[in-house]
């Protein structure tokens, strides 16, 4: 990612953080306003609404007062005309009580009648103007109940009733006007609250939601850009990795080829060292062939050749030719370059073929050989490579014992099966690897010999590791041992058998 785009991203992130803080403040402010509106609703609007509902009983009771005042007058007229029948008197008393209770209730409130106290100064003043007529009518009605049902009393009632009715009409009208104005106020307040809520919602959308949505879009765009950039980076890294893998594979292939070439060179060098001995080895059967051929010739040149006398020399010639052939075959298979396939070989044959190659070398250096090999054991290996290892170890052992007295030069080759491994030890009676045996001897080009190359042990270890085995060196009481293992599967292991199968000579 470029420095510029990183800076841009940081700037966008900071802006987003600032904006988030602003949006949060706005959101809380709007929430506060909504809370204030709810408080106002509860504190002002709801009580006003509750009050509106009590106007109805006030208007009803005030209206009924007019009807009661008319009934009072009517009952007074009945009592006067019928000279006090008890029923009318009782009705007059009840009506008077109701009328008086309702009058007081309208002014001071009466829970039983559902009336609140009248607080409006105008209506209270109208009641004050009504009071003289009310008092006069109450006094006249009480006088009638006390038995003073004179025409003057009835006339007083009739005179004040008309005044009372007119004033009561006015009061009812005033109650209705007050209720209406209250309702109108409430409607306006409700409208105001609705407009405020809509305004707050619009503000919420405009001041909070819109910028928040924009910020989210910006962040999503930013994220998409980053994903695209990261994907491009990953693709580049992937391609670079693929290139690197290819280069590494090529290098591995090359190193494999080089190590093959090196191993082959090492084999050729070993063979070079053995060349004199091998020439002598081949020379022996050739000389024998020549001798036996001469014998055959003599027999054939005689006057009456005896075929019987030819059988033995011809058989000897055949054996000597086979021996020479075996030596040459061994050399050819040992020196063959390139990859030879894995195949199952008998351990004893594998070792004996190598010994055939260095037989003369051992004899020349007066080294006594002791072999301890399993008779039937087989391993699945590239035979020429394992033989290269063995040859290298045998040559090292012979060279290590060159300064020892000839009677003490002894080479021991042991092969044993342990668990699922075949263990091969090449033990000599030379000076050993010194007091501190370490990995130094396996380092390429490490040598203590004037004409040594220092590659023998390194190549041997890599060959054994190729075969999934291990190779190490150790000191023995007298001399050194170089040991290596080769894996054998269970079937082979069973074939390797126990130590009783082993042949030691």
Q: Would you tell me which residues interact with ligand ADP (CB under 6 A)?
A: 392, 396-397, 400, 428, 430, 432-433, 441, 446-449, 452-458, 480
Buried b / exposed e over 348-386, threshold 16 CB at 10 Å, is bebbebbbbbbbbbbeebebebebebbeebbbebbbbbb
| Residue among 413 and 457 whose Cβ is closer to ligand ADP | 457
Contacts of residue 22, Cβ cutoff 8 Å, sequence gap at least 6: 211
- Where would I find the H helices in 342-500? 347-357, 359-364, 383-400, 456-466, 490-496
Half-sphere exposure of 146 (CA within 13 A, CB side): 8
Q: What are phi and psi of 433, to 5 degrees?
A: -95, 15
- Supply the minimum distance, in Å, between the C-beta of residue 493 and ligand ADP: 29
Whole-number Å distance between alpha carbons of 434 and 431: 7
Phi, psi at 445, each rounded to 5°? 70, 15
For the bound state, the minimum distance from the C-beta of residue 290 to ligand ADP, rounded and expressed in Å, comes to 37
The per-residue b/e assignment along 453-475, b for 16 or more CB within 10 angstroms, e otherwise, is bebbbbbbbbbbeebebebebee
**Cβ closest to ligand ADP, residue 75 vs residue 458:** 458
Q: Scan for tokens 């070792």, then name that residue.
A: 351
Nearer to ligand ADP, 410 or 428 (CB): 428
Compare residues 140 and 458 and give the one whose CB is closer to ligand ADP: 458
Query: Least distance to ligand ADP from the beta carbon of 460, Å?
Result: 7
Q: Which is nearer to ligand ADP, 386 or 480 (CB)?
A: 480
| C-beta of 154 vs 391, nearer to ligand ADP | 391
Kindly give, in sequence order, each residue whose CB lies less than 8 Å from that of residue 8, ignoring residues fewer than 6 positions away.
none
Q: How far is the CB of 257 from ligand ADP (least distance, A)?
A: 21
Smallest gap, in angstroms, from Cβ of residue 267 to ligand ADP? 13
Nearer to ligand ADP, 173 or 434 (CB): 434
Reduced to 3 states (helix: H, G, I; strand: E, B; else coil), residue 31 is helix
Distances in Å between the Cα of 95 and the Cα atoms of 58, 68, 133 are: 18, 7, 17
Closest CA to 81 of 146, 149, 138, 153: 149
Q: Cβ closer to ligand ADP: 55 or 446?
A: 446
Residue 312 CB, nearest distance to ligand ADP (Å)?
A: 44
Q: Which residues contact 31 (CB under 8 A, 6 or more apart)?
A: none
Beta strands 410-418 and 368-374, pairing class: parallel
415 C-beta neighbours (distance < 10 Å), count? 21
Give me the least distance between CB of 394 and ligand ADP, in Å please: 9
Residue nearest to ligand ADP (CB): 456
* Contact present, 473 and 345 (Cβ < 8 Å): no
Q: How far is the CB of 464 from ligand ADP (least distance, A)?
A: 13
Complex with ligand ADP: residue 377 or 400, whichever CB lies closer:
400
Q: Taking the complex as a whole, how short is the minimal distance between the CB of residue 465 and ligand ADP, in angstroms?
A: 15
Least distance CB 296 / ligand ADP (angstroms) = 46
Closest CB 452 distance from ligand ADP, rounded Å: 3
Q: Which is nearer to ligand ADP, 230 or 449 (CB)?
A: 449
DSSP class of residue 470 equals -
Between 25 and 449, CB nearer to ligand ADP: 449
The CA distance from 181 to 172, in Å, is 14
CB atoms within 10 A of CB 233: 11
Could you tell me the smallest distance in angstroms from the CB atom of residue 457 to ligand ADP? 3
The secondary structure of residue 340, as a DSSP letter, is: -
Distance CA 351, CA 426 (A): 11
Q: Which is nearer to ligand ADP, 168 or 455 (CB)?
A: 455
- Evaluate the CA torsion angle 157, 160, 163, 164 in order and state its sign: negative
Nearer to ligand ADP, 364 or 449 (CB): 449
Q: In angstroms, what is the minimal distance from the CB of 414 to ligand ADP?
A: 15
DSSP 110: B
């Amino acid at each position: 990612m470029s420095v510029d785009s990183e800076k841009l991203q940081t700037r966008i992130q900071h802006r987003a953080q600032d904006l988030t803080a602003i949006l949060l403040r706005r959101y809380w402010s709007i929430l506060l306003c909504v809370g204030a509106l709810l408080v106002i609703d509860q504190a002002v609007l709801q009580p006003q609404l509750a009050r509106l509902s009590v106007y109805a009983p006030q208007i009803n009771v005030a209206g009924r007062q007019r009807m009661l005042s008319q009934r009072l007058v009517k009952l007074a007229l009945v009592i006067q005309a019928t000279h006090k029948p008890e029923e009318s008197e009782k009705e007059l008393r009840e009506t008077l009580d109701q009328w008086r209770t309702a009058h007081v209730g309208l002014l001071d409130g009466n829970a039983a009648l559902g009336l609140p106290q009248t607080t409006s100064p105008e209506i209270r003043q109208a009641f004050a103007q009504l009071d003289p007529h009310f008092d006069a009518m109450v006094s006249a009605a009480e006088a009638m109940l006390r038995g003073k049902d004179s025409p003057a009393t009835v006339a007083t009632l009739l005179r004040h009733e008309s005044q009372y009715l007119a004033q009561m009409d006015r009061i009812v009208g005033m109650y209705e006007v007050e209720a209406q104005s209250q309702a109108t106020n409430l409607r306006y307040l409700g409208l105001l609250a609705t407009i405020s809520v809509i305004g707050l919602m619009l503000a919420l959308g405009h001041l909070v939601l819109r910028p928040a949505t924009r910020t989210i879009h910006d962040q999503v765009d930013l994220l998409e850009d980053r994903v695209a950039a990261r994907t491009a980076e990953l693709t580049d890294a992937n391609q670079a990795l693929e290139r690197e893998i290819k280069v590494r594979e090529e290098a591995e292939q090359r190193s494999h080829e080089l190590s093959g070439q090196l191993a082959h060179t090492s084999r050729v060098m070993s063979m070079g060292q053995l060349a004199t001995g091998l020439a002598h080895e081949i020379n022996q059967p050739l000389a024998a062939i020549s001798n036996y051929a001469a014998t055959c010739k003599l027999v054939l040149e005689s006057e009456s050749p005896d075929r019987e006398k030819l059988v033995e020399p011809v058989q000897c010639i055949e054996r000597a030719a086979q021996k020479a052939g075996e030596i040459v075959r061994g050399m050819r298979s040992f020196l063959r370059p390139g990859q030879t396939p894995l195949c199952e070989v008998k351990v004893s044959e594998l070792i004996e073929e190598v010994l055939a190659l260095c037989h003369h070398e051992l004899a020349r250096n007066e080294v006594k050989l002791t072999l301890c090999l399993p008779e039937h054991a087989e391993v699945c290996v590239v035979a020429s490579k394992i033989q290269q290892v063995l040859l290298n170890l045998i040559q090292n052992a012979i060279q290590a014992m060159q300064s020892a007295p000839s009677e003490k030069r002894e080479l021991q080759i042991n092969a044993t099966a342990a668990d699922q491994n075949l263990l091969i030890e090449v033990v000599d009676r030379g000076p050993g690897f010194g007091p501190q045996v370490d990995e130094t001897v396996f380092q390429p080009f490490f040598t203590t010999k004037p004409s040594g190359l220092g590659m023998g042990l390194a190549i041997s270890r890599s060959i054994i590791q190729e075969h999934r085995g291990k190779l190490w060196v150790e000191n023995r009481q007298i001399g050194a041992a170089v040991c290596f293992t080769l894996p054998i599967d269970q079937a082979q292991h069973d074939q390797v058998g126990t130590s009783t199968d082993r042949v030691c000579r």
